[in-house]
């Protein structure tokens, strides 16, 4: 526990009232909104969320049992901030960026002790620093400029940047070599004031990191899941929601994004999740691998976890969301494409509802606070594709996976076929399939192919655990092509002597239909993109010739 004897009296208030995670303190005049405070003799982490006269309302991010009236409240004069630097990847933090593995090794306990205060990033590990060739003594640097890099692991090169609000002339730059995150690497002078820079920078979580320009998101976020890439595509720098109850497969989608998506960095935030779900992520993610330049690497090397499970203090759920987005923005500023999984934002909203209730605020719809929409917007607006600050010029993006607004013509047609099949299935149950019109029979059969052979994807097989976009597009083109040709053949010959029915198509083109169902068995690794595209094109030509032969 810190020695308080050398602290000034004005830096302290005292506890006036305690209500769960909400503590009211007095003698707090001069404090700022969202200022970080330490509550009680255990110095629990808290944040000021309301100021009235010399009274301050504090939301505490740790268990408040044992805090009594009159206990000291230490004002730090700083906002809640996170440490940004090498050591984030492969690590697991709680909602206020305390390293859970280090706490476990320090305390030899499965519980987080009250008031534990250790650095977020390991300050003993040395990284090989390589300065940029363009950065020399006398160079002028501004916020966002890259002045060196370290290799954090085999997947991630960590670029060392000048903090956004710092600028000046280089007076000193470290030579290539091994340094810890606290050792001085750069000296900048501006207006006779010298600033020392290390590998690490500290940033307030509620403040958006600045950028030069917001760009239109125009690169697809590819997941390797046909149902998402083809029917519900998303862009890098977009925002998406994965709705679903427990056991519906949200974590499966998250794992697929972490393993196969074209993101460079993945930040996974477990906000109010069950402890066993986060432990499953911890257990499974290190075993998941990806191929990089012919080498097999663990995806944990490009992943960072922020775990704030449902048995942790409710107030810290909001902090975990902001911690995750701040980490994401930091890697975005390096020029990386970052995917942030917020699982789940609904439990964050529940935490806001509880805090709002304890503050006796007027509830809105379903008891949620009236400012819920503004809070959600302030979080989601931090997603996007941007032109980063500083030199060299680079672009980065943050995608928040947590209404998908982009459709293609084929995907709309697929959705129409599936919807039509849903409507027809009720008629079939009443009168049987034989009484349907020929066009409706085609719709039913093509919908069956779509559901069984296109949308269903076996994650345990080498050929189908990951579906490249070219394979998903090729399969959809052929299935929709078959549907269009079959409908055209039936409709154009309806009044002729050579009438074509669904039974005729099924009997004459059984081989083509079998090939349509077998398209998913093409292995992207063994067969390669060129061969798969050629095979799909060959199948399309075969269909064209087969239908032409039928109509002749």
Q: Give the residue carrying structure tokens 């399969």.
A: 475
Residue 42 scores a pLDDT above 80: yes
Residue 490, in any domain of the structure: yes
For residue 314, the model assigns a pLDDT of 81
Task: Identify the CATH number of the domain in which residue 515 sits.
Answer: 1.10.1140.10
- My answer on whether 432 and 539 are in the same domain is yes
Residue 1, in any domain of the structure: no
* Segment 340-374, tens digit of pLDDT: 988 778 888 888 888 888 888 888 888 889 988 89
Residue 20, in any domain of the structure: yes
Q: Reduce the DSSP state of residue 287 to 3 states and report it.
A: helix
For residue 2, the model assigns a pLDDT of 46
Task: Identify the CATH number of the domain in which residue 320 sits.
Answer: 3.40.50.300
> Of 199, 217, 234, which marks where a domain is finished?
199
- My answer on whether 244 and 363 are in the same domain is yes
Which of 305, 349, 297 is CA-nearest to residue 327? 305
For residue 420, the model assigns a pLDDT of 86
Average pLDDT over residues 80-109: 92
For residue 495, the model assigns a pLDDT of 80
Residue 4, in any domain of the structure: no
DSSP 106-130: HH-SSSPPTT----SS-SS--EEEE
* Segment 467-494, tens digit of pLDDT: 888 999 899 999 999 999 999 999 888 8
Residue 403 scores a pLDDT above 60: no
The rounded percent of the chain whose pLDDT value lies above 70 is 96
Residue 228, in any domain of the structure: yes
Question: What is the rounded average pLDDT for all residues in the chain?
Answer: 88
- My answer on whether 75 and 86 are in the same domain is no
Task: Identify the CATH number of the domain in which residue 132 sits.
Answer: 2.40.50.100
- My answer on whether 246 and 293 are in the same domain is yes
* Radius of gyration (C-alpha) of the chain in whole angstroms: 29
Helix H or strand E encompassing 215? strand 213-215
For residue 484, the model assigns a pLDDT of 92
For residue 350, the model assigns a pLDDT of 84
Average pLDDT over residues 117-128: 92
Residue 3, in any domain of the structure: no
For residue 233, the model assigns a pLDDT of 85
- My answer on whether 350 and 392 are in the same domain is yes
For residue 409, the model assigns a pLDDT of 56
- My answer on whether 75 and 39 are in the same domain is yes
Average pLDDT over residues 13-27: 93
- My answer on whether 321 and 248 are in the same domain is yes
Q: Which two tokens stand for residue 60?
A: 């505490």
- My answer on whether 387 and 453 are in the same domain is no
Residues 6+ positions from 184 with CB-CB distance below 8 Å: 172, 174, 196, 197, 198
Which of 464, 462, 466, 547 is CA-nearest to residue 513? 547
Beta strand 12-19 with 22-26 is antiparallel
Q: Pick the range with the lowest mean pLDDT from 2-6, 206-210, 270-274.
A: 2-6
- My answer on whether 160 and 99 are in the same domain is no
* Segment 295-312, tens digit of pLDDT: 888 888 899 999 888 888
> Of 171, 199, 227, which marks where a domain is finished?
199
For every residue of 127-156, which 3-state class applies, written as one string? Answer: EEEEECCCCCCCCEECCCCEEEEEECCCCC
- Highest mean pLDDT (candidates 67-76, 296-305, 402-411): 67-76
For residue 520, the model assigns a pLDDT of 92
The number of distinct structural domains making up the chain is 4
* Segment 419-458, tens digit of pLDDT: 888 888 888 888 888 888 888 899 999 999 999 999 898 8
The stretches of 170-235 forming alpha helices (DSSP H) are 226
- My answer on whether 386 and 254 are in the same domain is yes
Residue 6 scores a pLDDT above 50: no
Residue 2, in any domain of the structure: no
Distance CA 75, CA 78 (A): 8
> Of 359, 385, 401, which marks where a domain is finished?
401
Q: In which domain, by residue range, is 65 found?
A: 9-79
- My answer on whether 173 and 224 are in the same domain is no
* Segment 510-544, tens digit of pLDDT: 999 999 999 999 999 889 999 999 999 999 999 99
Q: Which residue has the higher pLDDT, 452 or 495?
A: 452
- My answer on whether 291 and 434 are in the same domain is no
Helix H or strand E encompassing 401? strand 395-401
Task: Identify the CATH number of the domain in which residue 65 sits.
Answer: 2.40.30.20
Residue 204, in any domain of the structure: no
The rounded percent of the chain whose pLDDT value lies above 90 is 49
For residue 190, the model assigns a pLDDT of 93
pLDDT band at residue 10 under the 50/70/90 scheme: low
């Amino acid at each position: 526990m810190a020695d308080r004897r050398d602290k000034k009296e004005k830096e302290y208030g005292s506890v006036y009232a305690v209500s769960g995670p909400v503590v009211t303190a007095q003698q707090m005049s001069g404090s700022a909104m969202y200022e970080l405070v330490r509550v009680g003799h255990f110095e629990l982490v808290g944040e000021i969320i309301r100021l009235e006269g010399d009274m301050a309302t504090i939301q505490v991010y740790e268990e408040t049992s044992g805090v009594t009236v009159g206990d000291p409240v230490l004002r730090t004069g700083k906002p809640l901030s996170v440490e940004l630097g090498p050591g984030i990847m492969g690590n697991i933090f709680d909602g206020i960026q305390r390293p859970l593995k280090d706490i476990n090794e320090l305390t030899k306990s499965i519980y987080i002790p009250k008031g534990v205060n250790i650095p977020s990033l390991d300050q003993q590990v040395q990284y090989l620093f390589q300065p940029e060739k363009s950065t020399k003594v006398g160079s002028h640097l501004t916020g966002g400029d890259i002045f060196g890099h370290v290799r954090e692991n085999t997947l991630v090169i960590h670029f060392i940047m000048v903090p956004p609000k710092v600028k000046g002339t280089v007076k000193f730059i470290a030579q290539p070599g091994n340094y810890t995150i606290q050792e001085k690497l750069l000296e900048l002078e501006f207006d006779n004031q010298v600033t020392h820079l290390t590998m690490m920078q500290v940033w307030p979580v509620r403040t958006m990191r600045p950028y030069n320009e917001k760009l239109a998101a125009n690169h697809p976020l590819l997941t390797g899941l046909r149902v998402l890439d083809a029917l519900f595509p998303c862009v890098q720098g977009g925002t998406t929601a994965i709705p679903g109850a427990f056991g519906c497969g949200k974590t499966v989608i998250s794992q697929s994004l972490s393993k196969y998506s074209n993101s460079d960095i993945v930040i996974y935030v477990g906000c109010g999740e069950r402890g066993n779900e986060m432990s499953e992520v911890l257990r499974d993610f290190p075993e998941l691998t990806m191929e990089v330049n012919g080498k097999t690497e663990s995806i944990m090397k490009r992943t960072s976890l922020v775990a704030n499970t449902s048995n942790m203090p409710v107030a810290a759920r909001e902090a975990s969301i902001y911690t995750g987005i701040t980490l994401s923005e930091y890697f975005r500023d390096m020029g990386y494409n970052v995917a942030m999984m917020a699982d789940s934002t609904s439990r964050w909203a529940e935490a806001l509802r509880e805090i709002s209730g304890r503050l006796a605020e007027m509830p809105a719809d379903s008891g949620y606070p009236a400012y819920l929409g503004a809070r959600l917007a302030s979080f989601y607006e931090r997603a996007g594709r941007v032109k980063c600050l500083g030199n060299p010029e680079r672009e980065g993006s943050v995608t928040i996976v947590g209404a998908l607004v982009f459709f293609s013509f084929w995907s709309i047609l697929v959705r129409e076929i599936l919807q039509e099949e849903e409507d027809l299935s009720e008629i079939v149950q009443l009168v049987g399939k034989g009484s349907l019109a020929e066009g409706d029979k085609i719709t039913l059969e093509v919908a069956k192919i779509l559901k069984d052979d296109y949308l269903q994807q076996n994650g345990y097989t080498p050929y189908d655990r990951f579906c490249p976009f070219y394979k998903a597009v090729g399969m959809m083109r052929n299935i929709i092509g078959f549907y269009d040709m079959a409908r055209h053949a039936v409709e154009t010959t309806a009044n002729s002597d050579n009438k074509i029915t669904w039974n005729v198509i099924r009997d004459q083109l059984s081989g083509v239909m079998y090939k349509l169902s077998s398209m998913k068995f093409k292995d992207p690794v063994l067969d390669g993109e060129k061969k798969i595209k050629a095979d799909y094109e060959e199948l399309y030509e075969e269909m064209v010739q087969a239908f032409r032969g039928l109509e002749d």
